[in-house]
Amino acid sequence: MKMQLAEIAKALNSDLNMGEDTVITSVEFDSRKSEPDSLFIPLEGSRDGHDFVSSAIANGASATLWKKGHPGKPENFPVIEVEDPLIALQQLAQYYLSKVNPTVVGITGSNGKTTTKDMVAAVLAKRFNVHKTQANFNNEIGVPITILEMKPSTEILVLEMGMDRSGQLHHLSNLVRPDVCVITMIGEAHIEFFGSRDKIADAKMEITDFLKEDGKFIYNGDEPLLRERAQKLEQDKSTFGFSEDNTIYATTFRSYMHHASFEVNNSKQKFSIPMIGKHNVSNALAAISVGRHFGESDDEIASALSSFTPTANRMQWKQGDVGEAIMDDVYNSNPTAVRAVTTSFGQIMVKSHGRRIAVLGDMLELGKKSAELHAGLADAFDPAIINELYLYGPDMKNLYEALSDKYDAGNLHYYPQESMDRMIDDLKNDIKPEDIVMLKGSHGMHLEKVLERLL
């Protein structure tokens, strides 16, 4: 972005005390990241952002928003007074979005939205100037920040859009007015707050609430909950998946240690992605669907997919300190994701005498069904495929008990949450160079600390 303060104040229909000609090139809500030509946004959460305005000024911020009536307003410094800084941030983003006027692709789903976002952006970048969500800036703060970070030359804006409550995607859809909506899948993520997959599907469909009349809805056709709800939409629709009644479906699929290859119906093109697993092939099918919608050739799409860079901590391979291969997938976890990753991990060939060792941390935000959903993973594990299991956290004890008759005691290990150091020590003493290791858990379980010690 590049706007004078006077334009920003006018866009917000707010008063500016001074510095009308000051040029703003970025917005920040973390005072530590403030820099010259930045506008500070004092958000109110567990801490009041107004308390950090002086820090933002010290770090070089050129102006700040300020909630009307809040005490302590800075003197002799450019201030735009607003009713609510968060709403003002969203209004400014909406104004800038209309000014740049890119085509907007909104992506959501219980799993795979970040990877799909990265794939879609890589595919579209073959022909267009593309800006995408960085990291997982996908909520009511992250989406407007992403919009304001795009260059004026942006032709397509690829937005990851997340939600943890009903109404959130409705609000974000209203903010960005997407031209294309993508739903990757429906799982159990945030089921604590929704109670059922049906209600999760309803909440995910909110992304289409403000889909433009001539827009496109692309969704996982292997999910009956989405097919049922998509029938109510009048916009153009297409599906992807593995069943043959989808618009695009995979006809072949092979997963290797560092990549997966596949083919699709109605194309002679061979596709490859630098990730493993059927679920990531599904994400790639979504990206192919989007690329074709924008007129790209399968050759262009295949080239982009083969070399795209996934966001960190998404099934990345790293080498441990004794030579073992470690699959790092510690960013987030839920039952659907664990099953998908476990299936992929089980398909990887190991060296002679090597073992597949899985380290699983608790899946958080599953609410009253948590014990049941953890124990329910038992049918995803076969001692002949996943040879050894390290289970960590209070809820994983349910899976440990469910697997106690299936696994020998020496190959099934459980550790309470306060015993991470002991688990790491046991792992380091157990792992051999020929082994491959999988790390999977919710971010709040901090399995990245296990990874650091194993590297």
**Binding-site entries for ATP:** 109-115
Query: Hey, what are 388's tokens?
Result: 């050894």
User: What single-letter amino acid sits at 246?
Assistant: N
Contact present, 105 and 159 (Cβ < 8 Å): yes
Among 22, 259, 216, smallest CA distance to 107 is for: 216
* Number of Cβ atoms within 10 Å of the Cβ of 23: 13
Q: How far apart are the first and last CA of the chain?
A: 40
Q: Report the relative pairing of strands 156-160 and 103-108 from DSSP bridges.
A: parallel
> How many whole angstroms separate alpha carbon 371 and alpha carbon 390?
17
* Number of Cβ atoms within 10 Å of the Cβ of 401: 15
Contact present, 218 and 239 (Cβ < 8 Å): yes
What dihedral do alpha carbons 289, 121, 157, 283 form, nearest 10°?
Answer: 50
* Axis-axis angle for helices 197-205, 168-176 (nearest 10): 20
User: What single-letter amino acid sits at 353?
Assistant: H
Contact present, 340 and 346 (Cβ < 8 Å): no
How would you classify residue 60: left for phi > 0, otherwise alpha for psi between -120 and 50, otherwise beta?
left
DSSP collapsed to 3 states, 224-283: HHHHHHHCCCCCEEEEEECCCCCCEEEEEEEECCCCEEEEECCCCCEEEECCCCHHHHHH
> How many whole angstroms separate alpha carbon 69 and alpha carbon 39?
20
> How many whole angstroms separate alpha carbon 145 and alpha carbon 255?
36
> How many whole angstroms separate alpha carbon 310 and alpha carbon 313?
9
DSSP 439: E
How would you classify residue 83: left for phi > 0, otherwise alpha for psi between -120 and 50, otherwise beta?
alpha
Q: What are phi and psi of 303, to 5 degrees?
A: -60, -45
How would you classify residue 277: left for phi > 0, otherwise alpha for psi between -120 and 50, otherwise beta?
left
Contact present, 215 and 207 (Cβ < 8 Å): no
Binding-site residues sit at 109-115
> How many whole angstroms separate alpha carbon 98 and alpha carbon 166?
26
